[in-house]
Structure 1
Amino acid sequence: MNDNIPASLPTSDVLLAEIDNHDVARLTMNRPERHNAFTPELIAALHAAFDAIARMKGIRAVVLKGEGRSFSAGADLGYMKEAGGWDEAENIADGQRLSDMLNAIYTCPVPTIAVAHGAVYGGGVGLIACADLAIAIQTAQFRLSEIRLGITPATISPFVIKAIGARHARRYFMTAEPFSAAEARRIGLVHRALTTSGDADQQIGEWIELLGEAAPGAVRDAKTLIMDYAGEEITDELRTDSANRIAARRADPEGKEGLTAFLEKRAPKW
């Protein structure tokens, strides 16, 4: 384990957090009796954990899971009922807190891996959409069920539409029909649909090994490339920006070490 990494992360009763011996942050939502449904406390705990991880140096990956039978069933119904009595300003502030938490995951410079199982509804789908790498265990059932409650998936929609595209969003936002792990993979919400949790852990291990072989700063910059360039027109300005970025990477100590190690036929020192 990297001695420069703090030994612990912000933790709470609703979110278990640890850093393992491979410098991987492991977060587990811990409301199994409520299918890890969102409450203000869980939203705040997730936001705090990802903010802390973003500031740490040396963390190689984040793994996000849910304790118990489900990954996350979206918003807790008691919480939603209470929100129905709030005024407009309170509801806007609450929606902003959820959006800020999702954005902290989406923009986290450390590669994030999410594992979906059991019920994955509403905001749970949003969490999966924000992850860089996502796995669904075969028994997972996904659903964007908000319209059945008279609301919409507004706050999660920017992230979900980025993941699955507008065409699939038209179907699942408006029908609220459930869909399987295989369908989640087909539409791009997850990268792998696997049979068991053991299979998922094996895939996570393989991804973490690959990430460990890559230069950590280059991984962070590669994620930034995708966020900055996705959907943009290829203009002269964008091409110039991309040339400037590769020049910066080549001049970076990581870039120099990577090239030197390749030429010397040895493993790079990172």
Structure 2
Amino acid sequence: MTSAPDAAVLEETHGPVRLLRLHRPDQRNALSADLIRALRQRLDAAAQDPSVRAVVLAGDRKAFSAGADLAALQQLQHASSEANRQDSQLLADLFQQLYTGPLPVIAAVEGAAVAGGAGLACACDLTVAGESARFGYTEVRLGFVAAIVMVFLLRAVGEKHARELLLTGRLVRAQEAWRMGLINEVVPDGEAERRALDLAREIAGGSRTALATTREMLSVLPGMGLQEALRYAAGVNAWTRTTHDLQEGVAAFLEHRPPRWTVDD
């Protein structure tokens, strides 16, 4: 499956993996409202397709995403508070969709991932970057606040590294981003997408029910106290034992064969 070349987000299907490519090359894949809506629609379509078990999110060789569309942001300075709130909520909804949706998402970063673009990669489950890729939360240099992406950055790297990145606004190379825990792997330039697809295929070998439930737990456990978390985890553990996929997974293991997961789980 492919998309029209003029679409803001291009789409390819690689077996159980859906590749979504940001496609505003002249604007370095800046996050316009149209691109955000297109990406949300593509993510929804992938989630509703029972044959898809993982998503790869990519940009191009020059830039993963330069963050907010500054021309649009300048225009919004003259808009109402409500219009600005709606525009901000659109981005927040995309990040939440990436972070809590049913499908695992792997970011493949080449070039620059800046501001909201760095946040976009941060909200994905895994991030693979080419060795020349750069990451930065540069909002303070524009008099802006990285308010939405901060929610995900703090979860990814902890407070000390988040303070360093957010307060300095400096760009870091892929190797330093890896050291901070912002990304999972550094690969040779030009190899990020291939590696992300390999990881996505590996993840796609799991049960879609188990993958979705694991992602749900990962998103809610950090906000729970110990006792609340254990009660929740025990309930999930008990429910999982009743699912068809658990029964199939155990049977496949004992019978030394690949599992046959339900298509519509």
Query: What's the counterpart of residue 247 of structure 1?
Result: 238
Say which of 151, 158, 174 aligns to 1:158.
151
Kept after mapping to 1: 8 A contact 2:55/2:200: no
More deviation, 11-20/108-117 = 11-20
Could you tell me which of 32, 56, 73 is aligned with 2:66? 73
Kept in 1: contact 2:106–2:196 (CA 8 A): yes
User: Which residue pairs with 1:229 in the alignment?
Assistant: 221
SS at 1:28 equivalent? strand
Query: 2:93, 2:70 → 1: CA distance?
Result: 21
What is the Cα deviation at residue 73 of structure 1? 0.5
- Whole-angstrom distance in 2 between the partners of 1:90 and 1:201: 36
Superposition CA RMSD, Å = 1.9
Separation in structure 1 between the aligned mates of residue 176 and residue 89 of structure 2, nearest angstrom = 30
Matched, 1:38 2:34: no
AA matched with 1:253:
H
CA-to-aligned-CA distance 1:92-149 (integer Å, 9 cap, x gap): 1111111111111111211101011112110101111110011111111111111111
Shift of 1:31: 0.8
Per mean C-alpha deviation after superposition, the further-off stretch among 79-88 and 52-61 is 52-61
Which residue number in structure 2 is paired with residue 4 of structure 1?
none
Task: Check 1:10–1:224 CA distance in 2 against 1; reply closer, same or farther (3 A cut).
Answer: farther
Alignment of 1:107-118 (within 5 A): 107-118=100-111
1:168 CA displacement:
1.1
Contact 2:56–2:197 under 8 Å retained in 1: no
SS for the counterpart of 2:226 is coil
Instruction: Output the CA distance in 2 between the equivalents of 1:221 and 1:192.
Output: 25
The 3-state SS of whatever aligns with 2:29 is coil
Residues 35 and 70, structure 1, Cα contact 8 Å, conserved in 2 = yes
Q: What TM-score results when the alignment is normalised by the length of structure 2?
A: 0.92
Listed as ranges, the matches of 1:1-270 within 5 Å are 13-20=7-14, 22-198=15-191, 200-235=192-227, 237-270=228-261
- Structure 1: how far apart are the matches of 2:18 and 2:134? 26
The range that moved more, 49-58 or 248-257, is 49-58
Distance 1:209 1:78, change over 3 A: closer
Q: Considering Cα pairs closer than 8 Å and 6+ residues apart, tell me whether 1 or 2 has the greater RCO.
A: 2
Using the aligned pairs only, state the percent identity: 32
TM-score for both structures, normalised by structure 1? 0.90
8 Å CA contact retained: 1:61, 1:208: yes
| Structure 2: segments with no counterpart, 5+ residues | none
The count of residues paired between Structure 1 and Structure 2 equals 261
Deviations 1:199-252 (A, max 9, x none): x244324323322332221111111121121252210x4323322211211111
For residue 220 of structure 2, what is the amino acid of its counterpart? Answer: D
Q: 1:153 to 1:111 in 2, by over 3 A?
A: same
